[in-house]
Amino acid sequence: MKQMTILLSKPGLDGHDVGVKVLAYALKDAGFNVIYTGLRKSIEEIVAQAEVVNADMIGLSILSGTHLILCQRMQEVLDERGIAIPWLVGGNIPHGDKGAIEGFGAVAAFPTGTKVEEVITFLKEFQTE
Amino acid sequence: MSSQDKKTDGDKSFDASVNDVKKVLLESGIEVKPLYTREDMQDSEADQSIPGQYPFTRGIHPEMYRKRPFTIRQYAGFASPEETNKRFKFLIENGQTGLNVAFDLPTQCGFDSDDPRTLGEVGRVGMSVDTLDDFEIAFDGIDLDKITVSLTINGAAIVLMAMYFALAEKRGYDVKMLRGTAQNDILKEFIGRGTWIFPVDSSVKLVVDTVEYCANHVPKYSPVSVCGYHIRESGANPVQEMAYAFCIAKAYTDETLKRGVDIDEFASRLSFNFDIYGNLFEQIAKFRGGRRLWAKIIREDYNAKNDKSSWMRMIAGGGGGGLTKEQPENNIIRSAYYALISALSGTQTMALCSYDEAYTIPTEKAAELSLRTMQILIHEMGICDTVDPLGGSYYVEALTDRFETEIQEEMKTVEALGGIVEAVASGKIQEKVSHQAYDREKGIQTGEIPKVGVNMFQKDEDPKPVEFHPYNVDAANYQIEKLQRIKNDRNGEKVQSCLEKLREDCLQNVNLMPTVIEAVKAYVSVGEIIQVMKDVYGEYEEPIFF
């Protein structure tokens, strides 16, 4: 199977990057091609980079509570540019917001405390589907 | 442990292989023996150590908490200057002696509230500040010489410190009497927390501007609180936490000395912010050994004459890294132990995370519990009666000695990377600690690192009610309107001349503090000031190591 390329990013101004870096290492160890954008990227920048690197999945890490606003913007920018890269979110996601985030178009929303294995399993299943 | 295993140094009195007990390694990699005796203290400096005397292993004051308990300082951040003002008044009425100001991310990253990059962030994680007007509202009716204010600000610290000094000057206070602390430790922001703005060298230059300015004009104010805390939260172990913090403090010190400021004019105003979670004895030894080492560095390497210069003053409290989302009530117990550790380590100031902070905004009840935890410790446990009650413990003293050595060794590894400024600019420190964070996460997930409620003694739980303050669009709009109103009302010519002067100062490489103070007095905004600095210094580009 083709190696999946995952673009991980930190949108907005949130500087909590321990989780996203841990995930980056774990996904690399699990055989994924991981590209990390670093902090403080606009949704536009993230989508542009995802196109350049030909990402199969975009992962947004958001812990500041801005997830609803940023996720809505995410799908808007993808639609505006006619790009169909699937995306998911991880971070401080209240249980009640999961539905809203998936409603915007995310394929998954993983709250803090999610085991890394769970994300890896999800990605592998997503790829085979 | 097999008999072929290499014995650790000093391991003479107790042979673990004979007694068939499992090997214990602390998070810092130090091996712990099952028993410590007088023999382990033979080379120790412990016997001569007296609290309040160099090298201050047992505490920086002779009487410590008998004279005055540690200061309780809880972090408080509220969306608007108006709400912050109300909260401050409440805390003062409830006996809190120090106020801690949290800022929203736009303020921390140097953006005005009306900047499009602040989408959804205005007033979210703390107080939104655009101009001096916001400070005037937040501190309205609060006597600035009765309180100490701690500003949790880094990238934009020079501007927010200037605002606080400008506020005091405008209200007629003598800034020489002003007390308080700014976090203002930009080097750790590159390792963890991430509110950097400018490239590493320029960032350090701005910190040094504030240190130099305070040494000359606001001598009772602590311009920098060097944060091992966030470094540990990013994955560093306890030895690295201290070592990197000391390297950072030394970097600011070296640069300040180059400005011709005497070591005794500023070293006593540098303070530290450290993390507590994990092994109780390891943390206590970390602080005692660290305090001794820092004293020696300042006196021996920098020839400080004043004892106060070599004090490792600290705020140390419960680390978020130790708290869990699972069985969150356990965090109440953990935090009480962290508070005990902090007090047994001779802290000057204590702050605890709320037990629900790992997954949601702390409730009023949770915040009150943190406060009560510290008050019970002070008033019921006898913790204030006797200085350094663990002094003389074979184990604690042996571990203290070991920590002093290990921290020193770790500092040498930073030097080998070209010094902390270079090691941070290249991303080498970030790469190291983030990989350790990954290893730690693996350890927790496999159960190798025991965590009650997470990988042992679990139980089925309902999903925790994760809450955020609902984003208050009206409040954000109010803040933006207020900024517009200020921009319309202020003297535009004065604003322009302040910004021109600032640009000139940046180019001339002089201390920016006086000009920034003049600018904020003219209601020039945080975003406007930071933008001029960005034009001259450029912006930080994060090294990516994946």
User: What's the number of domains chain A is made of?
Assistant: 1
Indicate yes or no: CB of B194 within 8 angstroms of CB of A16.
yes
- The mean pLDDT of B237-262, rounded to a whole number, is 98
The answer, yes or no, to whether residue B7 has pLDDT greater than 80, is no
B473 reaches A (C-beta below 8 A):
no
* Chain B closest-CA separation from residue A37 CA (Å): 8
A11 contact residues in B (CB cutoff 8 A): none
A69, B120: Cβ pair inside 8 Å?
yes
Whether the CB of B121 is below 8 Å from some CB of chain A: the reply is yes
Q: What is the pLDDT of residues B393-446, one digit of tens each?
A: 999 999 999 999 999 999 999 999 999 999 999 999 999 999 999 999 999 999
**According to the model, what pLDDT value does residue B17 have?**
54
pLDDT bracket for residue B6 (50, 70, 90): very low
The pLDDT of residue B45: 82
Alpha helices in B23-116 (DSSP H): 81-93, 105-109
Q: Does B326 touch chain A (CB under 8 A)?
A: yes
Residues from chain B contacting residue A69 (CB–CB below 8 Å) = 119-120, 471
Output A51 or B42, whichever has higher pLDDT. A51
Per-residue pLDDT band for B542 (boundaries 50, 70, 90) equals very high
Kindly indicate the confidence band of residue B2, based on its pLDDT and cuts at 50, 70 and 90: very low
Contacts of B458 in chain A (CB under 8 A): none
Q: Which residues of A touch B326 (CB under 8 A)?
A: 113
The stretch B491-499 carries a mean pLDDT of: 98
Q: What is the pLDDT of residues B18-58, one digit of tens each?
A: 566 889 999 999 999 999 999 998 878 877 889 999 999 99
pLDDT at B471 over 90: no
CB B126 within 8 A of CB B77: yes
Tokens 């989508």 belong to residue: A47
Q: Average pLDDT of chain B?
A: 92
| CB proximity list for B217: less than 8 A, separation 6 or greater | B165, B175, B176
The number of domains in chain B is: 1
Instruction: Report the CATH number that the domain containing residue A100 is assigned in CATH.
Output: 3.40.50.280
User: Cβ of B125 and A64 within 8 Å?
Assistant: yes
Nearest-CB residue to B195 (from A15, A21, A73): A15
For residue A31, what are the domain limits? 5-128
Compute CA A36 distance to the chain's CA centroid, rounded to the nearest angstrom: 10
Of A36, A68, A95, the CB nearest to B544: A36
Q: What is the mean pLDDT of the segment spanning B107-115? A: 97
- What percent of chain B stands above pLDDT 90? 79
- The mean-pLDDT minimum among A119-128, B391-400, B462-471 falls in B462-471
Would you call A93 and B466 a contact, using CB atoms and an 8 Å cutoff? yes
Contact B437, A18 (CB under 8 A): yes
Asked whether residue B462 carries a pLDDT value surpassing 90, the answer given is no
- B94 located within any domain: no
Instruction: Name the minimum distance, in Å, from the CA of B377 to any CA of chain A.
Output: 31
Q: Quick check: B464 pLDDT over 50?
A: yes
- The CATH number that applies at residue B319 is 3.20.20.240
Whether the predicted pLDDT of B3 surpasses 70: no
Q: Which residue of B has its CA nearest to A95?
A: B466
Q: Would you say residue B533 has pLDDT above 60? A: yes
Domain that holds residue B244: 1-61+183-458
Question: How many A×B Cβ pairs under 8 Å?
Answer: 107
pLDDT score, position B254? 98
Does any domain span residue B266?
yes
Establish if B257 belongs to a structural domain: yes
pLDDT at B4: 41
Residues in chain A: 129
Residue B470 lies in a domain: no
Say if B283 falls within a structural domain: yes
The CA distance from B387 to B312, in Å, is: 16
Global pTM reads 0.94
Q: Which residues of A touch B234 (CB under 8 A)?
A: 18
Query: Which of B119-123, B215-219, B311-315, B483-487 bottoms out in mean pLDDT, i.e. has the lowest?
Result: B119-123
Taking phi over 0 as left and psi of -120 to 50 as alpha, with beta for the rest, B14 belongs to beta
Q: Is residue B494 assigned to a domain?
A: no
Region A61-79 average pLDDT: 95
